[in-house]
Structure formats: structure tokens, C-alpha cells
Amino acid sequence: MLYIIANKQKVAEAGISPRGHNINGNHIIVNEKELNIIPGDTLEDRAKAVGGKVYDVIEIKKLIKKGDW
């Protein structure tokens, strides 16, 4: 599974509820399947549309643990 750290406001504007997600300031973590509603050819394109970057599960766990996101 891949995860995206994205802009919380852009994700909400796209119709994804922040409820139940990890949130840190202006950022939110969503999984790859949640971005299927965003137009784009690739996951990276959809992530960019919400001001985000794609991470794998190992990277995201490290970032959450460090609090560095």
C-alpha cells in the first residue's frame, strides 16, 4: 500500500473527509485508494493535484514515528 502526505484543504475540497486520518497541521495522510476520485493518469499525478507526495508504508511509518511530516 502506498500513502500520500497531502494538503489537508485540497483533500477536503476533493471530497475526502479528514475524519479518521492522521493530521499534522496543514497536512493529512491518505492512502492510494482514496485518491481514485481525483483526476489523473498516475498516482503521482493525483497526489500532485492535492499538493501531495507518495510514500511507501516503511517511509510513512518512519515519518509518523519521527513526527517529521
- Please check whether residue 50 is in contact with residue 28, taking contact to mean a CB–CB distance below 8 angstroms: no
Mean pLDDT for 29-48 is 97
- Look up residue 39 and give its three cell numbers: 483526476
Q: Which segments of 1-69 does DSSP mark as H helices, in order?
A: 8-13, 43-49, 57-66
Q: What is the C-alpha to C-alpha distance for residues 38 and 48, in angstroms, rounded to an integer? A: 10
Q: What pLDDT is stored for residue 28 in this prediction? A: 98
CB half-sphere exposure, 64, CA atoms < 13 A: 16
Q: Does the pLDDT of residue 2 top 80, yes or no?
A: yes
Task: Please tell me the predicted confidence (pLDDT) of residue 68.
Answer: 77
Does the global pTM surpass 0.75? yes
Task: Give the mean model confidence (pLDDT) for residues 64-69.
Answer: 86
In the chain, % of residues over pLDDT 70: 100
| All three cell numbers of 7 | 494538503
pLDDT tens-digit series, residues 6-24: 999 999 999 999 999 999 9
